[in-house]
Amino acid sequence: MDKEKEEPALSWTSFSHPDLHLDSIFVDPGTRRITRIIDWQSASVFEAYFQHCIPRILAPVWRNSSETESDISTQRHQAKEREIASHYQRFSKLNNPNRWAASKLPLRSLTTEPTSVLCGASDKDDVYSLQTALIHIAVRWDEIGSKPGPCPIRFLERELEFHSNEMDLVQGLANVLHELHDKGLIPLGGMLYRENYERAAPINKEHIEEFVNTMETEE
């Protein structure tokens, strides 16, 4: 990688609001100007490659599962969403080149994953996600190592085997999220919009009961 291009993108920092969505932005309907932005508690100054490439407010709005891809109004709405997201990216590339370069760094998601899951991992008892991210780093160290030498993180064979067994269990939960995603109820990140709660709740309950029954059978 060309260091002259790499260093500015890696070192450039900015103040970022990580949770911009329709419930945190207030707009005057008369002037169409933003009058207030709330939920600043998670905002901070940090490297651009840790920030979202596209604000959450521009993420697709997950609609009722009764709507189909053949529905003309749905297709038009989806096309409009893609157009807005593309415009944002073009605007960002022209007016904020450092942030754009940082978001396009090779292996960006791989190298930032450990940091993104580290906060609160012990409180949520989610060491699994952190371990998964570190294993991925160790496996692809030769691709991302900035300095020669062996990867400082090593896993024993029995640790990898235990992790693999945990992965089988977690995969079952992931299948639930994918099903809810495919039915148009939630994005894969797991955020459930208020208007979709009534439709998602019974599906979630059904999967919980199925999961509990499976665990009791295995015991």
Q: What is the largest CA-CA distance in the chain?
A: 64
The rounded distance, in Å, linking the Cα atoms of 167 and 59 is 28
- Return the HEC string of 47-103: EHHHCCCCCHHHCCCCCCCCCCCCCHHHHHHHHHHHHHHHHHHHHHHHHCHHHHHHH
pLDDT at 188: 55
**Residue bearing the bigger pLDDT, 50 or 177:** 50
pLDDT at 116: 75
For 10-45, the pLDDT digits (tens) are: 778 889 888 888 888 999 999 999 999 999 988 889
Band (189; pLDDT cuts 50, 70, 90)? low
Q: Kindly tell me if the per-residue pLDDT of 167 is higher than 50.
A: yes
Band (63; pLDDT cuts 50, 70, 90)? very low
Q: Contact at 8 Å (CB) between 90 and 77?
A: no
pLDDT at 3: 42
The rounded distance, in Å, linking the Cα atoms of 123 and 108 is 26
For 94-136, the pLDDT digits (tens) are: 998 888 888 888 888 888 888 877 766 666 566 778 888 899 9
DSSP per residue, 102-159: HHT-TTHHHHHHHHHHHTTTTTTT-HHHHHHHHHHHHHTHHHH-SSSS--S----HHH
Where in the chain are the domains? 1-105
